[in-house]
């Protein structure tokens, strides 16, 4: 079970082996954390994403799956791109959100990454309520079979940070 830390700030400056990107299935970049990672990491990342699309994912990266590229100019060694589910009031997509975390940790294991930083996946453009997303993210991470030693949730604002604090406390209390 990986140690979980919470941090406030920008995921692109985290000094970890791998940072996880809340991408979309095109892997061609976007806004939010996706935009920040491509801006800070530079064109190398997009170049590798184009190759991944051409060689492995002609129809795009499916929701819940994860794939790695180098990290370009970022302090991290790799970027693990994953596609979160768009929130739906009528369909429970928490399993897909959980899979974003376990798939990303699986990719981290394949790389030999021991420290991984996650953003609050799906809680921005994809509209997932923070408390629900935080609970899914923390539980999936605590329950993952992985050799990753440290998972850092990097929260961009106070609301997200408090939601993850509540979710982490609840998950650890129930252990
Ligand atoms: N560092 C850490 N977290 C960040 C950063 C950053 N630099 N920038 C934004 N965030 C936070 C947002 O505040 C939000 O809590 O990341 C969380 C995820 O929000 P989004 O980036 O909008 O990602 P998501 O909701 O998963 O939507 C993905 O948005 O940017 C596009 O291309 C992306 O189409 C995809 C969609």
For the stretch 16-45, pLDDT in tens is: 999 999 999 999 999 999 999 999 999 999
Atom of ligand 1 nearest to the CA of 36: 7
DSSP 111: H
Collect all residues with Cβ–Cβ distance below 8 Å to 39 and sequence separation of at least 6. Answer: 12
> Can you give the pLDDT at residue 1?
87
CA separation for the pair 98, 121 (Å, rounded):
10
Categorize the per-residue pLDDT at 175 as very low, low, confident or very high, splitting at 50, 70 and 90.
confident
For the stretch 123-164, pLDDT in tens is: 999 999 999 999 999 999 999 999 999 999 999 999 999 999
* Ligand 1 atom 24: residue of nearest CA: 122
CATH number, position 119? 3.40.220.10
Task: Compute the half-sphere exposure of residue 105: CA atoms within 13 Å on the CB side of its CA.
Answer: 24
**Cβ atoms of 80 and 21 closer than 8 Å:** yes
For the purposes of burial, counting CB atoms within 10 Å of the CB of 71, is it exposed (0-12), middle (13-18) or buried (19 or more)?
buried
Cα(156) to centroid of ligand 1, in Å? 9
Domain count along the chain: 1
* Ligand 1 atom 3: residue of nearest CA: 156
For the stretch 87-106, pLDDT in tens is: 999 999 999 999 999 999 99
Mutation test residue for ligand 1: of 22, 100, 127, 159, the one with most atoms within 8 Å of CB:
22
- Alpha helices by DSSP H, 70-124: 94-111
**Ligand 1 neighbours by CB, cut-off 6 Å:** 10-12, 22-24, 30-36, 84, 119-126, 154, 156-157, 160
- For the question of whether the overall pTM of this predicted structure is more than 0.85, the answer is yes
The whole domain housing 110 covers: 3-173
Measured from the Cβ of residue 45, the count of other Cβ atoms closer than 10 Å reads 24
Task: Choose the catalytic residue: 10, 34, 92, 131.
Answer: 34
The yes-or-no answer on residue 173 being catalytic is no
């Amino acid at each position: 079970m990986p140690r979980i830390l919470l941090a406030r700030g920008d995921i692109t400056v985290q000094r970890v082996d791998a940072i996880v990107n809340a991408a979309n299935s095109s892997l061609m970049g976007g806004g939010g954390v996706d935009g920040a990672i491509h801006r800070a990491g530079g064109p190398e990342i997009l170049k590798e994403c184009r190759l991944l699309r051409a060689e492995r994912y002609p129809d795009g990266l499916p929701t819940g799956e994860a794939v790695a590229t180098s990290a370009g100019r970022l302090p991290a060694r790799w970027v693990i791109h994953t596609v979160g589910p768009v929130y739906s009031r009528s369909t429970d997509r928490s399993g897909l959100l959980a899979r974003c975390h376990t798939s990303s940790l699986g990719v981290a294991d394949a790389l030999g990454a021991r420290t991984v930083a996650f953003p609050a996946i799906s809680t921005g453009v994809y509209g997932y309520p923070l408390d629900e997303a935080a609970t899914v993210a923390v539980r999936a991470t605590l329950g993952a079979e992985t050799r990753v030693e440290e998972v850092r949730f990097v929260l961009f604002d106070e609301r997200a940070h408090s939601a993850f604090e509540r979710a982490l406390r609840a998950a650890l209390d129930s252990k």
